[in-house]
Structure 1
């Protein structure tokens, strides 16, 4: 399951970071600090999301 988790994290992390950066830009937050915070938040929130998806895929597969 760890291998599946890392594969999913490699896909979900940048996706969530990109979504959060796009949201920050939409709110007209164009400073570097807002971009870094949005990217880090995306990568941090991708950890539990990847774990839950991997757990569901392992249980069903």
Structure 2
């Protein structure tokens, strides 16, 4: 399951980091923002992608399970 979670992380991390990078830009504007706020937002997006990818991999594993195949 960890292999699947890593593959999902490869997709989810840049997506969540990009979404998180847009948040400070929309709040304070492009010309008035400091660089560290974007870096902090991107780091938080990547950190948030770790549990997201694990939960998605767990759900996919449960769907592929031959015993039940339903979401918990």
TM-score calculated relative to the size of structure 2: 0.80
Match of 2:57 in 1: 54
Mean CA deviation greater in 8-17 or 24-33: 24-33
Match of 2:25 in 1: 25
How many residue pairs end up in the alignment?
61
Bigger Cα Rg: 2
Q: How far off its partner does 1:28 sit?
A: 1.6
SS in 2 for 1:27: helix
Mean CA deviation greater in 6-15 or 24-33: 24-33
Greater relative CO, 1 or 2 (CA 8 Å, sep 6+): 1
Mean CA deviation greater in 21-30 or 11-20: 21-30
CA distance in 1, matches of 2:21, 2:43: 10
SS in 2 for 1:22: helix
Match of 1:4 in 2: 4
TM-score calculated relative to the size of structure 1: 0.94
> Which sections of structure 2, spanning at least 5 residues, go unmatched?
65-72
